[in-house]
Chains A and B, each alone.
Chain A
Amino acid sequence: MKENNMQKQEALTYKHRGQGAEIWRRFRKSKTAMLGLFMLLVLVFLAIFADVLTPYDATKSDAANRMLQPSAEHLFGTDELGRDIFTRIAMGTRISLTVGLVSVTISAVGGIILGSIAGYYGGKVDTIIMRFVDIWMAIPSLLLNITIVAVLGVGLENVMIAIGISNIPGYCRTIRASIMSIKGSEYIEAAKASGASDARIILSHIIPNSLAPLIVQATLRMGASILICASMSFMGLGVVPPTPEWGAMLSTGRSFLRDHPHLCTFPGGAIMYTVLAMNLLGDGIRDALDPKLKN
């Protein structure tokens, strides 16, 4: 009897490990997904060790070294106030990754709450929430962000909140669709029959089983959120100087485009690199979690 139990336990552990390993195997098989992961790891490394990697201060002006071309001493050159551009880009990595993580968390939490309620209860609640979501989506994303920032005011925190709020409808739709497809499953019926509360069924059974599309969306949206934050800073509605944010750096640099294009080239390249990393990673995770979604 004891041996039989052990065998069952082993089989369960094997199955559990097998699923994770299978996803990782599928992910690893894609060269572009691995490239995305590597690119992201480089960014994380830069964000963590930004202080150690360069001897310069990201915000301190140095009038004697204004607008120097890229060299061994200043890898990406210096800006209009003599600050080292590589240092500012490395410090900007922290801001961009924070924007991505915080805004995606806000939208995911908001989307999970609204989507779960709409999908699980259905009926009038569903109609009201989904009509509201439709209306929310009728306003172009960037304009909605701009409008929310107009209310909250300019600044990094407010931009993250604005991006988070404006992305809630997308997550809400994903979670709702996912819940509607599993809420009739036998294990949900069994949980209901055993007397589990609605909150317990949603939190313990439904959400864990709807996570795959949510993770995919979160990774793909992270790149888009970073891009929106940079766009808003570029227009002067996001992070304000002297904070080393890439969009704000580009905005300042464009005044010197004619004679010192490196002030724009590197911050723009950093934005593109980060968004590309997130997109490659997101596509890879999507294909690994659900190969049917490919294409």
Chain B
Amino acid sequence: MFKYILRRILLMIPVMLFVIVIVFTLMYFTPGDPVDTILAGSDATAQTREALREELGLNGTYLERLGRYIGGLLHGDLGLDYNSRMPVIDIIKVAFPSTLKIAGAAIAFATILGIAIGIWAAVNQYTFADTFATILALLGNSMPVFWLALLLMLQFSIRLRWLPATGLDGWKGLIMPAFCTSVSSLAAIARMTRSSMLEVIRSDYITTARAKGVREANVITEHALGNAMIPVVTTIGIQFGNLLGGAVLTETVFAIPGMGTMIVSAIKARNIPVVQGGVLVCALSLCVLNLVIDLLYGFIDPRIKSQYK
């Protein structure tokens, strides 16, 4: 098991290295000179421009700059913010917890409610519950997150004044952003749980359990649920990527200073190191999460655990 984890962590290194190269290359070819943007409107001399170029690490060829960037990353240095000259890592340290809070609450909400709705729909196939789950899945997939966020804000912040319209202060501030972010994942998890449960509850061993007189609640929770969970866990892992995207939008609507708002405003200001750092941290989070999901399979299904060598 330990060897397997170590191997997977080592495999993440080339993946991350390629992500770094792709993002760096994309940003390298972004048109316009950052020095022009930073010094726009000032009468900077050639010397000042050169000093700034040196300070921000903008001198040298593509390969030199890439080498410097990767070297910096190994020391935890993601470069300097063009505007504030603060280290990008410090900015991310402030922004990342907000996004993690939203994404964490959203995935917890989507998982708990999605699995519950999926089971409810599967054990009541072709009834109101099933139709409800299907409609919910369809709407969840089609609903623009930012529109839902605005509608909820209108109702619960402006009209009823129950929840704060902006910011992430306290648990009340987390409710709307987390709910909006979770909707499409909730739909996907409910849909997957339903189809996976339907497949499992038709198995012979479930019929045997029922024939032995096991209570229906026990048949579902103890016998069926465990085996139906593997595809659901995969869906949860896939959804985390979508959640990060969703968080970018909810942060914009609720004016939350997270990774999403940080990256969007950095793009508008052509603040390349912040964009690079933000995307890299998001990609790394996704890689780590995929590893965790893979390891979770082992706990859910001992047959998979035995393959970890």
Q: Which residues of A contact B (CB under 8 A)?
A: 131-132, 134-136, 138-144, 146-151, 153, 223, 227, 230-231, 234-237, 247, 250, 254, 257-258, 261, 264-265, 267-269, 271-272, 275-276, 279-280, 295
- A-B contacts, 24 of them at CB < 8 A, read A135-B15, A135-B18, A139-B279, A140-B244, A140-B245, A141-B242, A142-B248, A143-B248, A143-B282, A143-B283, A146-B248, A147-B23, A147-B279, A231-B144, A234-B144, A234-B146, A250-B147, A261-B154, A264-B147, A268-B144, A268-B146, A268-B147, A268-B151, A276-B142
Residues of A within 8 A of B242 (CB): 140-141
B30's closest neighbor in chain A, by CB?
Answer: A151
Give me the interface of B with A, judged by CB distance under 8 Å. 15, 18-19, 22-23, 26-27, 29-31, 138-139, 141-147, 150-151, 153-154, 158, 195, 198, 241-242, 244-245, 248-249, 252-253, 263-264, 267-268, 270, 275, 278-279, 282-283, 286-287
- Known contacts A134-B15, A147-B275, A150-B26; 9 additional CB pairs below 8 A are A139-B19, A142-B245, A231-B145, A235-B248, A247-B144, A254-B150, A258-B154, A264-B151, A276-B138
Please name the residue on chain B nearest to A275 by beta carbon.
B142
Complex CA gap A261/B147 in Å reads: 11
Residues of B with C-beta under 8 A to A257? 150, 153-154, 158
Main secondary structure of the interface of A (DSSP, over half): helix
Q: Residue among A138, A144, A151, A267 with the most chain B CB within 10 A?
A: A138
Q: Which of B27, B29, B245, B287 has the most CB of A within 10 A?
A: B245
CB pair A147–B154 under 8 Å, yes or no, is no
CB distance from B205 to the nearest CB of A (A): 21
Interchain CB contact (< 8 A) of B287 among A131, A138, A149, A230: A138
Asked if B19 and A138 make an inter-chain contact with CB atoms under 8 angstroms apart, the answer reads yes
B284 to A, closest residue via Cβ: A138
Rounded to whole Å, the gap between the CB of A232 and the closest CB of chain B is 10
- Asked, given contacts A141-B242, A258-B158, whether A223 binds B275 with beta carbons under 8 Å apart, the answer is no
